[in-house]
Structure 1
Amino acid sequence: DYILLLGVLLTGAALAYTEVKFTPLGTAWSNHLLVMSLFAAALAVRGDSRVVAGVALSSFAAWMGVSASPLERAFWFSGDAAGAVRLNAAITGLLFVGLGYGLVRSGRKAHFEPVAAHLGWLLVLSAILAGVGDQGAARLGLFVVGAGLAAMAFWRGRFPLFGMGLIAAYIGLSALVVAGVRDAAFGFLWFSATGIAVLVGLLMAQRAMRERA
């Protein structure tokens, strides 16, 4: 796996050097990310490497974020680059989650599913989290989506996704509470008490999942 990963990373470095030095693609330089994604995906399937599959998906997400944002700004997010990037991240994340589900359903490379699912949900939650500071709807959305993910992951015994969802729900709930109660002393007490509660909840959930398995 690591030799294959090294080869992919060296190829990516060579492409990056070529683009910086000679700029063969000009303003379309982001297509190098797509090329790297397809190249890494082919090697991941051929070499049966989940590590390289993660590189392929990450490169694809980067390509989506860089190349598709101008088009989205032109049609839906005029002048709002941050909104376009968040939408891209959410769509790409859902695409990865769907890819993982499809791999399991088809029975082909089903062991790649955790890579796609973890990265996909991370992108979705990060997209919502990016708007928490400015939008009340994003705070509520982060809480709802995080709580739903945590519940689903607990039921299926998937602790990494459970932890991701629980922390996202906690951040969303905390943002709602802090925005509603603007008091420094209350904020200190809230984070002191709930932070410990979240940690205890994670430990208890992990133990419950292990016993159930």
Structure 2
Amino acid sequence: MNVKVFEKLQKEGLINDDSLASVKTAEANRLFSLHWEIKTLLYLGVLLLSGGLGILIYKNIDTIGHQVILLIIGVICAGCFSYCIRQKPPFSWEQVKAPNTFFDYALLLGCLTFVTFIGYLQFQYTAFGTAYGLATFIPLAALSISAYYFDHLGVLSMAITNLAAWMGIAATPLQLFSANDFSSGSIIYTGVLLGAILLSLAMISTKKNLKKHFAFTYQNFGTHIIFIACIAGMCVFDATYFLWFLFMAAIGTYIFLQAFREHSFYFVLLAVLYGYLAFSIVVFRLLVIMSDIGAVYLGFFYMIGSAIAVILLLINLNKKIKNARV
């Protein structure tokens, strides 16, 4: 509540002194929202609980026994899912709000313990034999169903990372760069395929209105993965690097135009920055062919000039998106 506006109205004689005093009293006694603080503490509690159980099990593995550990994990998982099934509202392809604050965290804990249960079962007892794909496919299926059935974006993100793991890619933001061997052709092609699948799911979610609010998560993962795979292709495949650039330009144009229509500066930013990186790779490859001191100077001028141009472009695009929203 803007008290200065009411003070201005009081000076203009549009409201009396008593009304202004009431507004100031209401503003002074306004309740402070602890929504995000409580949510942060609950998420932290789930992580600490799952991490603490892991440490406890690790330090007492010899005295507890593997069967007891699996039983404990299974009971926690079953209890969480049982609670969520009883509390969940009716299913809808539209966005469904959680019935209470505890629901989201119980579901998250249930999914985490389920993934732990399957992984522990395979690691300790090789329950799936040499079919290692089943150890990631079963959590993938369970998490995907849970994400839609309970309408939970956090579980959807877990399902996407399991899909990537099943296809052989680490898909968390840090591991995209550190845990994947993008010098491998198979990883690059797999990344392109995974990114295309996720972008297609985002489009289907929007067009068919099937959990439309899931589209951002699909598109976010898909955009980063397919762009990183294309840039890796430009760096690894010397003979066809320009074809990779053209493919990335086509994908980037699609994402840019879609983001502009939806007034999403975030995806416009990604398309511009990844596109700038890809174009810079082409420029520097051409400069390397020159192999003289002039190429070095041109490279420095390009870096300075292009960086300024990209910043000005992003500022201009941001203004256009803001004006289009009005």
Give TM-score scaled by structure 2 length. 0.55
Structure 1, unmatched stretches of 5+, are: 67-80
Say if 1:142 and 1:168, in contact at 8 Å, map to a contact too.
no
Deviations along 1:129-157, one digit per CA (max 9) or x if unpaired, are 11121332223433443244223322332
1:101 alignment counterpart: 203
How many Å apart are 1:178 and its aligned residue?
0.4
Matched, 1:55 2:55: no
> C-alpha distance in 2, partners of 1:152/1:108?
18
Say if 1:100 and 1:117, in contact at 8 Å, map to a contact too.
yes
How many Å apart are 1:56 and its aligned residue?
0.9
1:85 alignment counterpart: 187
Change (3 A) 1:55 1:84: same
User: Where is the helix percentage greater, Structure 1 or Structure 2?
Assistant: 1
Q: Determine which of 161, 164, 176 is the counterpart of 2:270.
A: 164
How many Å apart are 1:16 and its aligned residue?
2.2
Structure 2, unmatched stretches of 5+, are: 1-103, 170-182, 289-294
1:43 alignment counterpart: 146
2:284 alignment counterpart: 178
How do 1:57-136 and structure 2 match up within 5 A?
A: 57-65=160-168, 82-134=184-236, 135=238, 136=241
Amino acid at match of 1:57: I
Change (3 A) 1:200 1:51: farther
Amino acid at match of 2:265: F
1:188 alignment counterpart: 300
Say if 1:159 and 1:206, in contact at 8 Å, map to a contact too.
yes
> C-alpha distance in 1, partners of 2:226/2:278?
14
2:321 alignment counterpart: 209
Say if 1:141 and 1:172, in contact at 8 Å, map to a contact too.
no
> C-alpha distance in 1, partners of 2:159/2:125?
24
1:11 alignment counterpart: 114
Amino acid at match of 2:199: V
Q: Determine which of 252, 256, 272 is the counterpart of 1:150.
A: 256
> C-alpha distance in 2, partners of 1:187/1:2?
51
Amino acid at match of 1:108: L
Identity percentage of aligned residues: 23
How many Å apart are 1:89 and its aligned residue?
1.8
Say if 1:92 and 1:120, in contact at 8 Å, map to a contact too.
yes
Amino acid at match of 2:263: G
Across the aligned residues of Structure 1 and Structure 2, the Cα RMSD in angstroms comes to 2.3
> C-alpha distance in 2, partners of 1:123/1:115?
12
Amino acid at match of 1:200: L
> C-alpha distance in 2, partners of 1:47/1:2?
12
Deviations along 1:106-165, one digit per CA (max 9) or x if unpaired, are 222111111112222222222211112133222343344324422332233222221221
Greater C-alpha radius of gyration: 2
1:199 alignment counterpart: 311
Q: Determine which of 23, 26, 29 is the counterpart of 2:132.
A: 29
1:74 alignment counterpart: none
- Which is bigger in relative contact order (C-alpha 8 A, separation at least 6)? 1
Say if 1:40 and 1:52, in contact at 8 Å, map to a contact too.
yes
> C-alpha distance in 2, partners of 1:142/1:97?
14
Deviations along 1:153-204, one digit per CA (max 9) or x if unpaired, are 2233222221221112111110110000133333233223322332332233
Change (3 A) 1:47 1:157: same
How many Å apart are 1:92 and its aligned residue?
2.1
Say if 1:150 and 1:161, in contact at 8 Å, map to a contact too.
yes
SS of match in other structure, 1:181: helix
